[in-house]
Amino acid sequence: MLLSLGLIAVGFVLLIFGANWLVDGASSLARKYRVSDLVIGLTIVSFGTSAPELVVNLIASVQGYSDIVYGNVVGSNNFNLFVILGIAGLILPITVQRSTVWNEIPMSLGVAVLLLLLSNDFYVGSSDLLLSRTDGLLLIALFLTFLFYIFRQIQSEPTVADSPSAAYPSGVKITALIVFGLVGLVLGGKLVVDHAVTIATSLGVSEKIIGLTIIAAGTSLPELVTSAVAALKKNSDIAIGNVVGSNIFNVLLIIAVSAIVQPIGYNASFNREIFLLIGGTLFLFVAMFLGGRRRLDRWEAALLLLVYLAYTGMQIAAEM
């Protein structure tokens, strides 16, 4: 137990350093090549911080732990939305770009609704709930469409001229920051997850609750630390781009790859968590219009955090 706690602490240290390096490298890359922070947040940062979910889900899928596969993805998305945006918004009210309000947040909402439909086999009316390889291939096709959307967004962005005094880190330094940041996040996330699961299993907690809470929170720690660091550095675009992008990546890439590796049996009790995700995303969309400033204010961020804590508390109490 003490060894596991010590390794969890090491994991947190790796996560903090990894997040700092990744945000610094990604921001430098955006400035150097005149790509917006939002695009970097939706792609490089989102993919990097979603790497722990991918590793955990591939292992769980191969071993047939379907509740952990779903619990990790759905739980991580809820953690991203309610906790990470909640904490980042408490640190600094998050101002959102117009494209995020009208494009990326609705995409995230649509992805959550699609996951609900595919998981419950509404389109075929089957009583045997399963996310099949065909479903996985459909999600991958949509993921490629999302990447194409990002590519078009990069092309359509106006080019900003460099200031005469602009100085950028070398390409080698930027690459090193991003690579070492990603490595720190993945290793740190894996240490935290593995040893948190060891502790939880010894206490007799169910697979579903482990997936929804400990594994979901653990694999979302890179997103948490990255978005918190971005908020502290007053970089709202990376903070929200990381969360929205990760939620899209988790469904369209991670659970899709897991289903392609091995079809995933679906426990209908996860519908509650997916409805929670849909409701939270709708709240985020509506919040962008309150006050007409496209901003997540501190009271809205606090409400997201309180809803998650209350819901998770009820879930754990129901298990006991």
Mean confidence (pLDDT) of the chain: 82
Is the pLDDT at 163 greater than 90? The verdict is no
User: Residues 6 or more apart from 61 whose CB is under 8 A from it?
Assistant: 69, 258, 259, 261, 262, 264
Reading the block at residue 42, the tokens are: 């939706």
Tell me whether residue 152 is exposed, middle or buried, using C-beta atoms within 10 angstroms of its C-beta: 0 to 12, 13 to 18, 19 or more.
Answer: exposed
Task: Find the domain containing 96 and state its range.
Answer: 40-157+191-319
29 located within any domain: no
299 located within any domain: yes
Sign for the pseudo-dihedral over CA of 199, 201, 205, 208: positive
Helices 271-287 & 105-119 angle (0-180, nearest 10): 160
273 located within any domain: yes
Please give the Cα distance from 296 to 303 (Å, whole number).
11
Indicate the pTM of the whole model: 0.78
Reading the block at residue 202, the tokens are: 């010894």
The answer to whether 37 and 238 are in contact (CB under 8 A) is: yes
Domain at 127, CATH number: 1.20.1420.30
221 located within any domain: yes
11 located within any domain: no
Give the CA angle between residues 273, 53, 226 to the nearest 5°: 95
22 located within any domain: no
User: Residues 6 or more apart from 262 whose CB is under 8 A from it?
Assistant: 61, 62, 64
DSSP run (H or E) holding 264 = strand 264-265
Please give the Cα distance from 175 to 18 (Å, whole number).
13
Q: According to the per-residue pLDDT averaged within each range, which of 18-27, 182-191, 264-273 is highest?
A: 264-273
103 located within any domain: yes
215 located within any domain: yes
Domain count, the chain: 1
Residue-wise pLDDT for 56-102, tens only, equals 777 778 878 788 889 889 998 999 999 999 998 898 888 877 766 77
Helix, strand, or coil (residue 93): coil
Is the pLDDT at 54 greater than 50? The verdict is yes
